[in-house]
Amino acid sequence: APPVVGWPPVRTSRKNLTPQPRSDMEKEKGVESSEKPDKKVEDSLFVKVNMDGFPIGRKIDLKAYDSYVSLSRGLQQLFSRFLD
């Protein structure tokens, strides 16, 4: 991977967060290529939701809702304390 460059200078801790090629990650962790990735990551679809006029956003899992109606109700409950 090419080095991370930018202004302000990128700290070492941030450089560690940059994506690495799959083979490098496997070498570091000692993971066999035949192992399956975490099922939790595959079974989720996270999106960030913001409400107009409020600086705080929330990350929700779309796969946790089975319909638009249940998603709408969930969002109403999530942001209800900001509306009162």
* pLDDT above 70: residue 78: yes
Residue 58 has a pLDDT of: 87
* pLDDT above 90: residue 14: no
Task: Report DSSP letters for 8-70, one per residue.
Answer: SPPPHHHHTTS---HHHHHHHHT--TTSPPPHHHHT--EEEEE-TT-S-EEEEEGGG-SSHHH
Alpha-carbon distance of 4 to 24, in angstroms, equals 16
Task: Break the chain into its structural domains and give their ranges.
Answer: 12-83
pTM of the model: 0.45
